[in-house]
Amino acid sequence: GVSPYPAKDVISIQSNDWGTVVTAEIYDITGKLTQTSQVNNGFIDVTFLHSGVYLLVAKNDEGKLATQKFIKQ
């Protein structure tokens, strides 16, 4: 999951059974890619994002993808 909800400066990605998240892509509500970043110890900086709803696409160390909606405050 992604926390905190809503997010302010940083989001944390937790997954007990999914492996280590290594990269993340963040898309805005229109589907436009706004950020691609390496995940640092499960954290992603989102300070530059405007307030709104976003979709996080996370990739683990085995290449599997997972998606999660989050709100930036």
Helix/strand/coil for 60: strand
Tell me the one-letter amino acid at 22.
V
Buried-exposed string 50-66: b where 16+ CB fall within 10 A, e elsewhere: eeeebebebbbeeeeeb
> Contact 62/42 with Cβ under 8 angstroms?
no
- Residue keyed to tokens 């691609």: 36
> Could you read off the pLDDT of 48-64 as tens digits, one per residue?
999 999 999 999 989 99
Q: Mean pLDDT for each 10-residue chunk of the chain (73 residues)? A: 80 80 94 91 90 94 92 94
Q: Which residues pair with 56 in a beta bridge?
A: 26, 68
- Residue keyed to tokens 């976003």: 54
How much is the pTM?
0.86
